[in-house]
Amino acid sequence: MKILSIETSCDDTSVALIEGNGDNVTLLKEAHASQIDVHKIYGGIVPEVAARKHTEVMSLLLAEVFEKQNPPDAIAVTAGPGLLTSLLVGVETAKTLSSLTNIPLIRTNHMEGHIYANWIEQEHDIQFPALALIVSGGHTELVLMSSHTTYKKIGETVDDAAGEAFDKVGKFIGLTYPGGPKISKHAEQGNPDTIKLPRPMIDSDNLNFSFSGLKTAAKLYIEKNPDLNIADFSASLEQAIVDVLVSKTLRAIAEHNPKTVVLGGGVAANKKLRATLTEKIDPLPETTFIAPHIPYCMDNAAMIGSAAYFKAQKDGYTDWKDITADPVWELPK
Ligand SMILES: Nc1ncnc2c1ncn2[C@@H]1O[C@H](COP(=O)(O)OP(=O)(O)OP(=O)(O)O)[C@@H](O)[C@H]1O
Ligand SMILES: [Mg+2]
């Protein structure tokens, strides 16, 4: 089955053509436009600018991917969560295409896309129940899946997301947006034991996260130590975030006994997080760990097509007349 997918939830415009076969997804074509150079001038995403930029490039990207002579079996689009004005560009494009071609539509959640990045172009043996750790710019969640596309959120952040903590602290030390990958790069040269930063909620008796206190502690440290060693500071911050994420994931494994743990979201590209999860989960006799290939961690349309392929197996289509964008569409609890 071939699916044309569209992702515009934040600042990346992405269109892909994927093919699903059995339990695997292959990427056939992809066209992508990043807006980072525009938004980094402002230190974060400006919604109005993001929507305008999506609109400018959408038809060009579609023309690269859509094959008129060989149309896809379905069209998938991210309908939420995300910035409303950004989402609307993708949703209205998908509706227009579907109404003109009669190709059925699959309304896809951005977070299920991050989860289904794990099925793209990789040898895997993902089995259910599965546990997903999603760590991105706007979300930090633990989601239990009893079968394909069946979700139960069992943990989430009570304030900032992990990616947001990386980005905001990055801004405090003068790094351009997004700070996450830059902090991670500096951390490779640093000693994570140099600066003692808090691990909020690490011992709390639940699966929730909090990163706001860590962000404030990091800010105070920067103010008191203007000549800090950026590598040691970055390594210490990264270690604090990774410690909390790994500790809560291990707690969730102990409580729910998943057969597979999958990782997703932009922060899933972090090498220390991937290595620590591998190191802790590999020795467990009944649980395996898998992470998406790095290009599928960041926002991309292939992951939306991947999730849509598995939704299609369960008849998860929506009539184009009924599709709306939902900026706060969360996975069920
Ligand atoms: N190597 C890395 N280490 C740490 N953080 C990283 C790394 N690479 C990317 N990130 C972070 O990933 C985030 C971007 O991820 P993503 O694109 O999935 O977020 P988003 O789509 O804006 O948010 P959401 O998916 O919650 O809607 C940013 O916060 C960025 O700093
Ligand atoms: Mg994302």
Question: Tell me: the pLDDT tens digits for 46-70?
Answer: 999 999 999 999 999 999 999 989 9
Residue ranges near ligand 2 (ion) with Cβ within 5 Å:
136, 299
Q: Cα(123)–Cα(125) distance, rounded to whole angstroms?
A: 7
Alpha helix ranges (H) inside 66-109: 84-101
219 dihedral zone (left: phi>0; alpha: psi -120 to 50; beta):
alpha
- Cα(312) to ligand 2 centroid in Å equals 22
- Cα(7) to ligand 2 centroid in Å equals 10
The 10s digit of each residue's pLDDT in 253-300 is 999 999 999 999 999 999 999 999 999 999 999 999 999 999 999 999
Q: CA 57, 73, 22 angle in degrees (round to 5)?
A: 115
The ligand placed nearest to the CA atom of residue 141 is: 1
Number of neighbours of residue 46 by Cβ within 10 angstroms: 17
Q: Among 136, 169, 171, 277, which residue has the most ligand 1 atoms within 8 Å of its CB, making it the best to mutate?
A: 136
| CA nearest ligand 1 atom 24, residue | 138
Residue 242 tokens read as 């990774």
Q: Cα(126)–Cα(328) distance, rounded to whole angstroms?
A: 28
CB 228 within 8 A of CB 256: no
- Cα(36) to ligand 2 centroid in Å equals 14
Helical (H) or strand (E) element with 162? helix 162-172
> Which residues does the chain have with pLDDT short of 70?
none
Sequence-distant (≥ 6) Cβ neighbours of residue 173 within 8 angstroms:
179, 222, 228, 230, 233
**Which single residue is written with the structure tokens 């690269």?**
64
Amino acid at 258: P
